Amino acid sequence: MKFTDGYWQLREGVEPQYPVHVHDVEIGADRLTVFAPAKRITGRGDTLNMPLLTVECTAPAPDVVAVRIAGHLGGVDRGPHFRIEADPAAAPKVTRDDESVTFTSGALSARFSLGEWRLDFLAGGRVLTGSPRKAMAALRTPDGQFLREQLDLGVGETVYGLGERFGPLVKNGQTVDIWNADGGTSSEQAYKNVPFYVTSGGYGVFVNDPGPVSFEVGSEAVSRVQFSVPGQVLQYLVVYGPTPRDVLRKYTALTGRPALPPAWSFGLWLSTSFTTSYDEATVTSIVDGMAERGLPLSVFHFDTFWMREFHWCDFEWDPQTFPDPAGMLARLKAKGLRICVWINPYIAQRSRLFAEGAAAGYLVRRENGDVWQWDRWQAGMGLVDFTDPQARRWFQDRLRALLDMGVDAFKSDFGERIPTDVVWADGADPLRMHNYYTHLYNEAVFEVLREHRGEGEAVLFARSATVGGQRFPVHWGGDCASTFPSMAESLRGGLSLAMSGFGFWSHDIGGFEGTPDPAVFTRWIPFGLLSSHSRLHGNESYRVPWLFGDDAVAVLGEFTRLKARLMPYLYAAAVTAHREGLPMMRPMALEFPDDPACANLDRQYLLGDSILVAPVFSADGDTTFYLPAGRWTDLRGGEVLTGPGWFRRRYGIGDLPVFVRPGSVIALGARDDRPDYDYADGVTLRVYELPDGAGTTVEIPTLQGRPAATFTVRVTGNGTGTVVEVRRGGSAAPWRVQLAGVAAVAAVDAGRLAPDPGPESAGVLIEADAGTELVIVHLP
């Protein structure tokens, strides 16, 4: 929201009150409170007839400072609030001298000048950012009272995050309103709004307010990030890194880290699509068609019309189309499939649950007591009130019945179009509930899945989210068009969400709206399979690959099998997301913050720590990608390219740049037909460009995310050549070592040479027998 008319003037009707200086401070055991009047106090008369801003600093965790700015403090706090996990290890301290008073948490300090107003945040011997004179303000406007803060941006400093946004990855120059909306992927609106950003300056900022927050990112004051909220209180947290990875770790420690999704969820999901016509015979023919073509399939998803039209949601199978749902699910599960069904939190008037929910008070009401209803989506639909514990259980009981029938997962759609002219059961502020509703909705669904299936087996396919929603994976990118530009905007949205603390993300392969031409569909497949989660889904047409030609079938088979082989590596990356809050799909700026060429890259990413993926966004295969410093190896072909530098190439219809970071060890599994298997049994450790003197440790997880085996790889040089040592701990299953790009060895201790099975990059392959703990390879 903009308050100024250029640099010198204010917009009509805007009356600001700026803190001018620190008049007084109070120092508590765990906080610093600063009292800042809106004009300089030179005598007693100056203390009358003007605002006094109260600025309080606390430390919810080491290296984090929370700043609360308040005008009037007498308002009723109606909630809701984001859940913050405070760290008891935080031990803040306050120091004061003649020029300033400083509040310090770990390595981060907030320093208030005792002269002219200025608040600086310092760490690592430098000022990270600051709030200068006339940055912080209480503002009266024709639209009501607002509180605003502006934080400095350094020269060349770039800003990321603020949720899943489909415009440029770098937010500089943008206006971003934190307000969940069902706007597709081709607009400035977003399904997943998160009032948190990360900058290249070594810190992040989280505005702790679930209501509407307006950001001006170098757009109103071009050298500052401005954020504002309606009302009398604004709290923001500054999170010190110093790296972007560190910022995400600390932010997700505060707001929640994702549950570990089950391994089976990383396989291919296939949907009925939305408005297509289908019954059990149709579903069976689709599933059998995949099997006949040798295409591994993990999950089958039933979209909206598993229920009767006008009845969404009554959670009952359409009796005419699906007369034997329990039997059908059993037959599908006998084929090795998991089952997902579509749901949303809206109850259509024709649903048998509408009258039941209205009578019990489970549907959100207007101030006059009427059930809130409208006709956009389902005729006369109401909205489940998840602030009421009984309504929450009522909704969950409908899901339990489906789980008992054999359903394994839910696509928890919608949750964005939440009205503000309503009364919530717990008295929550309707403005703050608009964004927060999705959190209660997805939490309720995830909770019943975890209760029914057990820890580590719950997974959603959710569309809407806000702060803390990362706890309930997986999220997908919403309604994208079946075009190359929409494919690119989907990737930008996923990378933006990754910079907002979300570890897992997916998208509709081939696009949702319309029917993709074969080139779009086939080019989208590798991107889809080299994402965290992979789903074939569309609107009015099926997304089975044979409808798009033989190339699509072949490419889907190749990349589904490649993803299955990569599961030891990918599931280890999933465990890292679960433990540390680092996303599986990582923007280049997250992994290479010191490489200025990576700052704006939004058409490529790292999948985990080590695999660079650059989807192709053209029918002819012409593409440009960037490799940071070092020798990068093509995962599938073995070609080595040396960075830093840009590369322009033309790729065939089933190909794209997939390069392994130098100094990496990629764990490849022994199976390519499914994502969930014993990753340690027959695992191959492929070593890429590990320099002399270097070492690395690779953890192979179990399906529960615990370590099954740990391998330490070390390279040393001696007078006669190079020695590669691989030491195993844990599982006693057989394992192998492959030295990518190495054609011959001088000798092998405790192992034997084996033929390279391909189809990935060639290199000497050494087999270790079951029980072998150490393999030593001597290179010429």
Q: How many CB atoms lie within 10 A of CB 650?
A: 11
Q: Amino acid identity of 329?
A: L
Q: What is the DSSP letter of 587?
A: E
CA distance 669 to 569: 8
Residue 397 is among the residues annotated as catalytic for this protein: no
Task: State both tokens at 765.
Answer: 């392959």
Task: State both tokens at 612.
Answer: 């660079």
Task: State both tokens at 748.
Answer: 């092998």
Q: Amino acid identity of 639?
A: E
Which residue do the tokens 């701990």 mark? 729
Length of the chain measured in residues: 780
The catalytic residue among 63, 408, 416, 513 is 416
Which residue do the tokens 């087996």 mark? 457
CA distance 23 to 736: 69
The catalytic residue among 479, 489, 558, 681 is 479
The catalytic residue among 120, 413, 429, 672 is 413
Closest CA to 108 of 157, 151, 59: 59
| Axis-axis angle for helices 389-405, 325-333 (nearest 10) | 60
CA distance 170 to 396: 39
Which residue do the tokens 């070390």 mark? 714
Q: What is the DSSP letter of 60?
A: E
Name the maximum alpha-carbon separation found in the chain. 90
Residue 769 is among the residues annotated as catalytic for this protein: no
SS3 287: helix
Decide: residue 308, CB within 10 A, 0-12 exposed, 13-18 middle, 19+ buried: middle
CA distance 503 to 648: 30
CA distance 98 to 119: 15
Closest CA to 653 of 603, 616, 614: 616
Residue 413 is among the residues annotated as catalytic for this protein: yes
CA distance 113 to 135: 14
Which distant-in-sequence residues (6+ apart) come within 8 Å of 604 by Cβ?
Answer: 588, 612, 613, 614, 615, 625, 626, 657
CA distance 547 to 553: 9
The sign one gets for the Cα dihedral 289, 295, 296, 299 is negative
SS3 280: helix
Closest CA to 687 of 657, 712, 708: 712
SS3 684: strand
Task: State both tokens at 497.
Answer: 């969400």
CA distance 712 to 31: 45
Three-state SS string over 742-754 comes to CCCCCEEECCEEE
CA distance 192 to 163: 5
CA distance 676 to 265: 9
Write b or e for each residue in 666-686: b if 16 or more Cβ atoms lie within 10 A of its Cβ, otherwise e: bbbbbbbebbbbbbbbbbbbb
CA distance 367 to 358: 15
Alpha-carbon Rg for the chain in angstroms: 28
273 touches 513 (CB < 8 A): no
Task: State both tokens at 696.
Answer: 């690395």
CA distance 571 to 704: 10
Show which residues are catalytic: 413, 416, 479
